[in-house]
Amino acid sequence: MLTFSSSDRVFVLTGAGVSAESGIPTFRGVGGLWRNYRIEEVASPHAWHRDPRLVWEFYSMRRRVASAAKPNPAHFALAKLENILQGHLFVCTQNVDNLHEQAGSRNVVHMHGQLFKSRCDTCSHPPFDDANLYEPPAEVPRCECGGRIRPHICWFGEVPFELDQIYHALDQCTLFIAVGTSGVVEPAASFVAHVAGRARTVYVGPENPANASSFTECYLGKAGEVLPDLLGAL
């Protein structure tokens, strides 16, 4: 069990594994999304320019799956930790679902965007809430400026969101906890190396991530089973 002192600043990085027990597929590994879809066909600026309807078909499928999902004990444990640590917990997720928020987390940074938001690919109107499914034969929706409405997602080749805020929190943290992320996608995979040497670094997931050597401790098991215990009878 981890213990927290009032001087601790806790940074939690979550990946697809934290939502796996809620029924949302991970990307890599058995049953992973990237076994059935090619990144360059559905999750890149190139894909968007070449076939935006196919991109929307992929994200509409993901919206449908995520709409049916409910938070699991790992999401709830993190929401409770936020209440206990007040402003001393920073949750950064690579996930585009809203299960942290559904569990009650109020301050979550979505570095790879949000599945239930869209934005114009041309003008600077801010992203807006959007749970619609845009599947063929539906046309790709248009902004009033004439641009195409795209998912508010960080695609491969694009810069993740909120990096200034994220690195500021990393620079302050004394305890870094990564949950359910394979440790291969940058820049998130290097967050642990950024804090290593001055912060305690903990990984939770069923197998060691690719960057396991940078962690001081790895707790192997499912997030929904390990995390509530690790965070202490919450």
Site residues for ligand OAD per CB under 6 A: 15-17, 20-21, 26-29, 32, 43, 94, 112, 154, 180-182, 185, 205-207, 209, 222-223
Cβ-closest position to ligand OAD:
17
The smaller minimum CB distance to ligand OAD, of residues 134 and 203, is found at 203
Catalytic residue among 100, 112, 152, 194: 112
The smaller minimum CB distance to ligand OAD, of residues 46 and 142, is found at 46
Interior/surface letters 127-146, b for 16+ CB within 10 angstroms, e for the rest:
eeebeeebeeeeebeebeee
Q: How far is the CB of 215 from ligand OAD (least distance, A)?
A: 13
Q: How far is the CB of 168 from ligand OAD (least distance, A)?
A: 21
112 is catalytic: yes
Sheet containing strand 108-110, strands side by side: 108-110, 89-93, 10-14, 175-179, 200-205, 217-220
Q: How far is the CB of 20 from ligand OAD (least distance, A)?
A: 4
Q: How many CB atoms lie within 10 A of CB 69?
A: 16
Q: How far is the CB of 87 from ligand OAD (least distance, A)?
A: 26
Structure tokens, 183 = 């440790």
The smaller minimum CB distance to ligand OAD, of residues 152 and 222, is found at 222
Structure tokens, 79 = 């929401």
- Write the CA distances from 111 to 13, 124, 141, 167, integer angstroms: 10, 19, 24, 12
The C-alpha atoms of residue 15 and residue 109 are separated, in whole angstroms, by 12
Angle of CA points 12, 13, 14, to nearest 5°? 115
Active site residues: 112
